[in-house]
Structure 1
Amino acid sequence: MMTTMNISLPEALKSFVDQQVAQHGYGTSSEYMRELIRKDQDRQHLRNLLLDGASSPATAPVDAAYFQELRDRVTSRAAL
């Protein structure tokens, strides 16, 4: 179920939204706004993941040997 939210925009922003809707194939300005909100949610989620990773304990270095081991594991599993 969707609820309704009304927003007020200055004319310049409304024109910009209308251009984006027309140029990028959105059916309505609501679709465009929903897409912006989803992208913002994704960006915030990624930021939180990065911050969590930055504050986690250090691990072994990720170097060429690490990636070779991953490739070897995938190859061996694919052979099964």
Structure 2
Amino acid sequence: MASMNISLPDPMRDYVQDRIDSGQYASASDYVRDLIRRDRGGIENEERWLRDLDGSIAQSLAEMAAGGGVDLDAACDAVLIELATTDGQHRS
């Protein structure tokens, strides 16, 4: 296993030491390894989310190109008309 030296400001070093003293980690190396695993997992989750989003956008664009979907302006106009009609009925 390779070693790496890092420098931390005193408050950060104290925080790591507190985590070790509380029994959450066996050593500073254990703490850093856990942080790296969590960071890698977060990056993988973000990449997966972006791929899923890209797929969803592509699917939506394909549906729109095939004549599916709803025109946003028309949908908003319909909602505004409904709100105006409903609002007028409640004030009577």
TM-score, length-scaled by structure 1? 0.66
Query: Compared with structure 1, are the counterparts of its residues 58 and 4 closer, same or farther at alpha carbon in structure 2 (3 Å cutoff)?
Result: same
Could you tell me the percent identity over the aligned residues? 29
Residue deviations 1:2-51, cap 9 Å, x none?
Answer: 10000001111100111112224311010011000100000000000000
- The structure with the largest helix share of the pair is 2
Moved over 3 A (4+): none
Determine the structure 1 residue equivalent to 2:37: 38
Determine the structure 2 residue equivalent to 1:26: 25
Q: What is the DSSP-based 3-state SS (H/G/I as helix, E as strand, rest coil) of the residue aligned with 2:3?
A: coil
| Unmatched segments (≥5 aa) in structure 2 | 61-92
CA–CA distance in structure 2, aligned partners of residues 41 and 22 of structure 1: 26
Higher relative contact order (CA 8 A, sep 6+): 1
| Count of residues paired in the alignment | 58
| Unmatched segments (≥5 aa) in structure 1 | 60-80
Rg comparison, structure with higher value:
2
